[in-house]
Structure 1
Amino acid sequence: MTIATSRLRARRALLGGAALSTLLLAPALAAAQQADQTAVEEIIVTATKRDATIQDIPFSINAQTEKDIQRSGAVTLEDLSRNVAGLTIQNLGPGQSQVSVRGVSAGQVVRDQPGVKEQVGVYLDESVISLSLFTPDVDLFDLNRVETLRGPQGTLFGSGSVGGTIRYITNQPKLGVNEGVFEANANLTGGDAFGGHVKGAVNLPISDKVAMRAVGYLTRYGGFIDARKEGGKVEENVNSGSRRGGRIAFLIQPTETFNLTPRVVYQEIRANGFNRQEVFNLFANNNTTTRPRIQLGEREQYLLLDESFADNTLLADLTANLDLGGASLTSVTSYISRDIAVNRDASALSGSVSVDLGFPAAAVTLPSKLVDTTDLEQFTQELRLASTGDGPLQWVVGGFYSKVDRVYNQRLPTPGYDAYTDAVLGAGTSAAVANGFSGNSPYNAYLPYDIKQKALFGELNYTLGKLTATAGGRYYDFSETRQFKSGGLFANGDNRTDKTSSDGFTPRFLLSYEASDTVTFNAQASKGFRLGGVNDPLNIPLCSAQDAAIFGGYQSYNDETLWNYEGGIKSRFGGVRFNGAVFYTDIKNLQTTLDAGSCSSRVVFNVPKAHTKGIEGELTARLANGLDIGVSGSLLEAEFDSTVKDGTGAVIGGIREGNRLPSVPKFQISFDVTYSREVFDGANGYLKASIQHVGSRYTQASDQENNPRSFVSNLAFGGATGLVPTVVDLQLPSYEIVNLSAGVEMKDGVDITVYVNNLFDENALLSFDRERGGRARLGYSVGQPRIAGVTVRKSF
């Protein structure tokens, strides 16, 4: 690292520290604000299953409103996360983002770990849509707000909310209202890839008791990754894609005390490739002599076959509300159908195995595609009863049931592979290891899951003067049955059925003290849980003896649980609002993911103890009429409190007491400023700028050990000796993203927004992936480059 780079990072750290100090001193700043400043708009949320303002919610929560979304030009949750303290998003491509809150993270969850459960629950209104790695990227058009509930939400939202909960809240149908909005966008990604979208929403009264709201959208994404191919060819922007879909909802209100809201949501996501930047590939590196030497550059990868991602999501739900007088009964019934197909170029992976097996070069370079498919059907039913009166005692009780049928298939079609297998290993070998699967596919797996969960929950709070106490709990009962069948040369020939089950109780206790009309103090102790599961068997034919011995004993893993303790303040002084919290999280049986060395497998196992602790805050201030600023930031320590060793006494996977939890920055902060004023009669103009700093991270816990790391392919292929190392610094560097936008909002309903996101074209490294322990390829998932665009919106 150069002296200039060191100084730049030092200046960044000082600026970040100064900004966080400003944030923590917000109450003092608030007292200095002028009394005549215009108040900031109140935001109504439903984080406690009842309507309340953010300031009245007795725990840490953020809400990004429809106006926030529009003015920022945000199109994904990752875009919004820059203004939410403690929220971290890893963008692994459309429909594949990973979310963590407050540092509770198991590390990178990858495409072939179907049994891993999510750590942050994601909801579309009342319906849970979380699915580990493949939680849908919900389009942000016609949303009322996006809520981020920090800390475990196990009482009201159940499993998968161990770190927190994200809630997309859509605009609902309105009786007696004709309204709509149309939006068109054009943008340029990375300077040479065009994208854009068209979206529309309409609300129509069908009668005095029925209304309909319909939304439709089509988005084209410009790519920014270039793929080098055989023969010196280069294909540009291979990770372009699209998202299309819509939703239609009806409000049926036959009486003033009863209403129904049936809804259907459908969305298709397509991507032509992945945001992977490679630093080593078996077929493209500087070590070969009989093949062209290739130095892969920024935002480049090497492919023998095209890659793709497809996700079709159908959600049908029905929400019913009945006012019983003093209480309301709510029923939420939802059905989700998902079809996901991931096609990856696995030629380097299969080729690396072929080298180890002594196959000829012609077999090593056979194009090979890894095809992962997920077919999911999920049914959930929630029924709850909640108080509606104004008395000091408020309560909610309910029950929840879910059933998930999920079939995961994996195939490795490699035309011509069986002939080489039989020629080298003996005639009939390929047929002998097929285990009922089709030929010319050296790895195959079939995994059907049957997952059931039942829960009872309740929460009540009582207000006595300025003090409100809340107590709640959730009892859950969970069972999972999974079959695992595998076949092919790289597989074990498994055919087994595994079952796991658990039950437990997660309580929550809160105290809220209203010190004045403008300041409230909160304290909380709450428990969260994440369901356990069963690891897939290792691909023993691909494992070294050492890796098989180390990782072969980790079959099942237990529920992850944590206790969260926090204290917070919510304050408001005229045009200034400051909300902050300090927290400590005690984690038991943290589910941690790591590569099983050379086995081309990944395992999840429990770390007995870990913790996170930190401070977070969000400040919004109206410094003058039309001038608003916002600061949000978090300072975090997330570490293991246990050391896990193998039979030889060596530390496994970096699970060492004091090492950092993976994928989480110690420090992140964002700052935004908006200036608006009337530019001419009937038109309001605004300028908005924001900067987001994300600190350094590690993809996996093991990346902290022996870093920088020397990866030696040990593969004598293409004239390479197999002895030249590829040295990689596995600490993902910090980065800054600067966004600018400007717009005009006219009284006739026309809005025009011009924006540039990632102004300085930062190449953010989001995670690091090593195929087959680095013997096949090494690469990073990277963030989006500079995107400039214009959006025109017409409301009517």
Structure 2
Amino acid sequence: MTNIYKSAENSKSLRKLAESTTLAGLFSLAAVMVPNGAIADEAAEINEDTGFEEIVVTSRKRSESMYDVPISINVVSESMIENMGATDFTDLLRSVPSLTAYQNGPGRTRIFIRGIANGGGNDNDTQNQETVSIYLDEIPISLGAMNPELSLFDLDRVEVLRGPQGTLYGAGAMAGTIRLVSKKPNLSEIEGKAEAELSTVRHGTENYGFKGLVNVPIIEDKIAIRASGYFRHNGGYIDNVATGEKDINDGSTKGVKIAVRAMITEEFTADFSFFHHDYSDNGRPEDFDATPLFTRDSTSFDGYDDEMQIYNMTLNYDLGWANLVSSSSYFDRHIINRRSLDLLFTLALPPGITPHELVDDTTLDVFAQEVRLSSTTDSDLQWTVGGYFDKKDTLYLNTFPVPGADAVLGIPSSDFGAPADHLFFGFDDLTVKTFAIFGEAYYSIDQFTITAGLRYFNWQQDIDFFQSGLFNGGSNSDPRPQSKEDGFNPKLNISFDVNDNMLVYAQVARGFRYGGINGAIPEAVCADELADVEREGGDTRFFDSDKTWNYEVGAKGTTEDGKLSYNAAYFYIKWQDMQTSRSFDCGFGFRENVGGATSQGIEVELNAHLTEGLTLSLGGSYTNSELSEDVPNLSAVKGDRAPFVPEYSFNGSAEYVFPIANNMDAFIWANLQYVGERFTEFNRTTANDRKMEEYTIANLRIGVEWENLEISLFANNLLDSHGVVRALRRPPFDPDAAIRVEPRTIGVTVRSNF
């Protein structure tokens, strides 16, 4: 199949894309000497025979044209990231059909694909596990509701793999996988790039940021180093009417990445990388329902600090008949999340105690090792086999320090097993070990290709709990028995090359998310609710893994002249033993398995080159995700829609590039994003359910390019939509609140490269 994506001869938009790639500090990744059969770093290549551009991806852990991969995959290129001015996941992924993303602030992002969303649970819960796995290159970085908000600078592309990816990516990929693919050091050329941005937010203050990178060959064609760094200040736009403070949700991000590539021999390449990221803010971007838009009335403290380091070593050896890859990663992260509990002081505590915050302190250490072997011969049979191991240690401290509490109450906290002036003190100490063996084989018979994959997994989990303090009714330590499980994830795919430009496929695949151990619930304050669960035959101590079976058919390809490309899929998913969170009135809760759900829908993407310099991209999805049976524990019935999933979503963008002088082009880029209505609960009639109305966002960017310089003006959320991305129902401790899309932001960006 000849895969044509864009015309290099007829489209100045393509030339702009190539220039944007240059602006990012990559003159030609094709010049990087990657051994035969190694995973390629470049996202795009020009087909010399046709003069057209192909999108190259590594979603199946081998270098392939996007239109040769018989799965539903969306690729967000560097040019698209720059046009959108995307600084976080929610900005970037809002343009991907069948994907929903929301956040409680940077570093607190939840992602759902194809309607596999159950919501609920404490975002800081160590057992609030993901349904979508996230990788930075070879490194797994997912963390439930606290997925890290990494800088999108110096990325080659973002690959979104829709549907279960359980054979190659394992647990947590039951709905899909997102891969952030970095640019690799260039062994042959010195490169550099600098970027500055200044903008202002309506209802708020200024944003400003700086980014830079340099690539230097230490020994030409042998060793190179690539270093990049960034700093960004996010201006706040939420005011505190209780204290008079303005723009309290301001924050800052900074980071550095260093990558080294060494071509040891023609067959052996070693890549080393280090990444440091640091984010902090003074409060979540939420406003209260009881106060005016973009305001709140907290009297205690909010804030969030998130620091992480990521280390990776990837060794790549070409054996001639196969490519051997070893990836060793270490990831550590420390998060401090401070949350106000104003109403608690108003209603429950005596005068004389100063309002203070609930503090969640999470430390995460992850080691991951993968070794895989992929065939490289010119044969009808291709294959990939490998092994995977990881160990994740998580220590979660949940504390409620209240200065002066012991003196005012006349009761020392130590009487309840807690440190001085702590109304609550507890921790979860969690260790999870995962082992897997996986393989996929691809066999071609004429125009047919059959893909079969299988992954054997084995995981075990150990956890210790400790809880103390007045609000816990005393102290208790509860070491739990080990939780463990093993099993298989199969996959079968049949694809057919209709002609050189069109591929159709059918696939069935299984995904899973491992189970776990719930935290201890104090009987002293939750006796009635615990008795209810016992009468139901439930167990608050454990919950099992849940699984998805995904059935889909799809088509992708281009017209013969390459001016139109398309990607469409229909999916039907059965979700079994669904994990959900149940909350008690006593303020505690647990995760449990309840019933099942189905999700079915259609996703479509089109890219068209209408005239010279003018391109159009359209994407949309329909998703019907609902319970397949009654779930009394959720007060929900068959047919209730899944929370946080819009039935319809749509996005479209257009770009026009035209010359205005010698070596100078101008461009106009416009984008429209529509998100349908969503709800926060399965049951529409419960007091906890909140409706999030549909909203539309318009973005615009205009600019000029001259040689190595680009200057652009932009307006994000041009129409100043107040769309709600997350509604929060939080009594009794705080009033209802909403997190909205960032108000209209207008600014300027300057980029230069050498």
Normalising by structure 1, what TM-score? 0.85
* 1:538–1:599 contact (8 Å) kept in structure 2: no
1:149 to 161, 166, 170: 161
Within the candidate set 538, 554, 570, 1:568 is matched to 554
Q: Structure 1 residue 599 and structure 2 residue 594: aligned?
A: no
Matched, 1:335 2:330: yes
Are 2:456 and 1:444 equivalent residues in the alignment? no
Q: Give yes or no for the alignment of 1:614 onto 2:632.
A: no
Equivalent residue number for residue 476 of structure 1: 457
* Structure 1 gap segments, 5+ residues each: 1-29, 281-295, 423-427, 646-651, 712-728
Once the two structures are TM-superposed, the CA of residue 78 in structure 1 deviates from its matched residue by 1.3
The answer to whether residue 577 in structure 2 is matched with residue 589 in structure 1 is yes
Does 1:503 find its partner at 2:491? no
1:653 Cα offset (Å): 2.5
The SS at the match of 1:80 is helix
8 Å CA contact retained: 2:478, 2:520:
no
Per-residue CA deviation, residues 272-323 of structure 1 (Å, 9 max, x unaligned), is: 110121125xxxxxxxxxxxxxxx1111112222311011100011000000
Deviation by residue 1:454-484 (Cα, 9 ceiling, x = unmatched): 0000000011111000000111100111111
- Which residue is 1:252 aligned to? 262
Q: Does 1:737 align with 2:749?
A: no
One of 267, 272, 288 as aligned partner of 2:277? 267
- The alpha-carbon deviation at position 557 of structure 1 amounts to 1.1
Kept in 2, the 8 Å contact 1:336–1:377? The answer is yes
Match of residue 308 from structure 2: 313
1:402 aligns with 2:390: yes
Q: Please give the alpha-carbon distance, in whole angstroms, between the structure 2 residues aligned to 1:141 and 1:201.
A: 9
The 5-angstrom pairing of residues 151-550 of structure 1 reads 151-208=163-220, 209-229=222-242, 233-280=243-290, 296-349=291-344, 351-352=346-347, 354=348, 360=350, 362=351, 366-422=354-410, 428=411, 430-433=413-416, 435=417, 437-492=418-473, 493-498=475-480, 499-538=482-521, 543=526, 545=528, 549=532
1:641-656 alignment runs, 5 A limit: 641-645=628-632, 652-656=633-637
User: For residue 11 of structure 1, what is the aligned residue in structure 2?
Assistant: none
Shift of 1:108: 4.0
CA distance in 1, matches of 2:240, 2:626: 38
- Does the aligned pair in 2 maintain the 1:40–1:576 contact within 8 Å? no
How many angstroms apart in 1 are the aligned matches of 2:733 and 2:250?
Answer: 28
Cα deviation for residue 237 of structure 1 reads 0.9
- Verify the 8 A CA contact 1:607 1:642 in the aligned structure 2: no
> Is this contact kept in 2: 1:591–1:606, CA < 8 A?
yes
> What is the deviation of 1:536?
1.9
What are the superposed Cα offsets for residues 391-444 of structure 1, whole Å, 9 maximum, x if unpaired? Answer: 11110000000011111101101123234444xxxxx574432x2x21221111
Q: 2: CA distance between counterparts of 1:548 and 1:80?
A: 46
Report the AA paired with residue 641 of structure 1.
S
1:742 is paired with a residue of what secondary structure? strand
Per-residue Cα deviation, 1:482-528 (whole angstroms, up to 9, x for no partner): 11100011115220112211111001111110001111101110000
Give how far 1:539 is off.
5.1
What is the aligned counterpart of 1:578 among 545, 550, 566?
Answer: 566
CA distance in 1, matches of 2:588, 2:704: 53
Task: Kindly indicate whether the alpha-carbon contact (under 8 Å) linking 2:10 and 2:612 is maintained by their aligned counterparts in 1.
Answer: no
Please give the secondary structure, in 1, of the residue aligned with 2:472: coil
Gaps of 5+ in 2: 15-50
Cα 1:566/1:351, change in 2 over 3 Å: same
SS of the aligned residue for 2:577 comes to strand
Q: Does 1:697 align with 2:670?
A: no
Native 8 Å contact 1:108 1:767 kept in 2? no
Q: Is the 8 A contact 1:108 1:663 kept in 2?
A: no
- The one-letter code of the counterpart of 2:549 is W
Q: Please say if residues 679 and 691 of structure 2, whose CA atoms lie closer than 8 Å, have aligned partners that are also in contact.
A: yes
Distance 2:91 2:52 in 1: 23
Q: Distance in 1 between matches of 2:422 and 2:651?
A: 48
Distance 2:732 2:544 in 1: 29
Name the SS of the counterpart of 1:234 in structure 2. Answer: coil
**What's the CA shift for 1:79?**
1.3
Q: Answer yes or no: is 1:557 the counterpart of 2:543.
A: yes
Q: Percent identity?
A: 33
Residue pair 1:548, 1:599 contacting (<8 A) in 2 also? no
* Separation (CA, whole Å) in 2 of partners of 1:688 and 1:122: 29
Over 3 Å counting, the alpha-carbon distance change for 1:738 and 1:129 in structure 2 is same
Deviations 1:696-745 (A, max 9, x none): 1112324x124xx4x8xxxxxxxxxxxxxxxxx71111111111111212
Q: 2:625 aligned to 614, 631, 638, which one?
A: 638
Question: Which AA in structure 2 matches 1:132?
Answer: G
Partner of residue 763 from structure 1, selected from 689, 699, 722? 722
Q: Determine the C-alpha separation between the residues in 2 that align with 1:470 and 1:623.
A: 36
Query: Residue 539 of structure 1 contacts residue 599 of structure 1 at CA under 8 Å; is this kept in 2?
Result: no
Q: How big is the shift at 1:540?
A: 5.0
Q: Is the 8 A contact 1:91 1:783 kept in 2?
A: no
Measured in 1, the distance between the counterparts of 2:273 and 2:412 equals 53
| Aligned residues of 2:194 and 2:753 also touching (Cα < 8 A) | yes
- 1:349: how far off? 3.4
- What amino acid sits opposite 1:613 in the alignment? Q
Structure 2 Cα separation of the partners of residues 571 and 531 of structure 1? 36
Q: Tell me how far 1:794 sits from its aligned partner.
A: 0.4
The offset of 1:152, in angstroms, is: 0.6
Is it true that 1:789 corresponds to 2:747 in the alignment? yes
2:126–2:394 Cα contact (<8 Å) kept: no
Q: 2:638 — aligned with what? A: 657
Q: Which moved more, 1:489-498 or 1:336-345?
A: 489-498
Is 1:779 matched with 2:737? Answer: yes
Aligned-pair CA distance for 1:544 = 8.4
CA contact (8 A) 2:328 2:368 kept: yes
CA distance in 2, matches of 1:559, 1:510: 25
TM-superposed deviation, 1:74: 1.4
Q: Which amino acid aligns with 1:590?
A: M
The 1:602/1:755 distance shift into structure 2, 3 A limit, reads farther
Aligned residue runs from structure 1 range 676-715, under 5 A: 676-702=657-683, 704-706=684-686, 709=687
Aligned-partner residue type, residue 212 of structure 1: I
Report the CA distance between 1:100 and its aligned residue. 0.7
Determine helix, strand or coil for the equivalent of 2:372.
Answer: strand
Q: What is the identity, as a one-letter code, of the residue corresponding to 2:737?
A: G
Q: Which piece of structure 1 moves more, 154-163 or 102-111?
A: 102-111
TM-superposition CA deviations, 1:244-293 (whole Å, max 9, x none) = 0011011111211001001110000111110121125xxxxxxxxxxxxx
- Distance change (3 Å), C-alpha of 1:207 and 1:36: closer
Partner of 2:32: none
The aligned runs of 1:63-212 (5 Å cut-off) are 63-208=75-220, 209-212=222-225
Deviation at 1:782, TM superposition (A): 2.1
2:341, 2:733 within 8 Å by CA — same for their partners in 1? no
**TM-score scaled by length of structure 2:** 0.90
Distance 2:612 2:531 in 1: 66
Q: Secondary structure at 1:686's aligned position in 2?
A: strand
Which letter maps to 1:759?
Answer: L
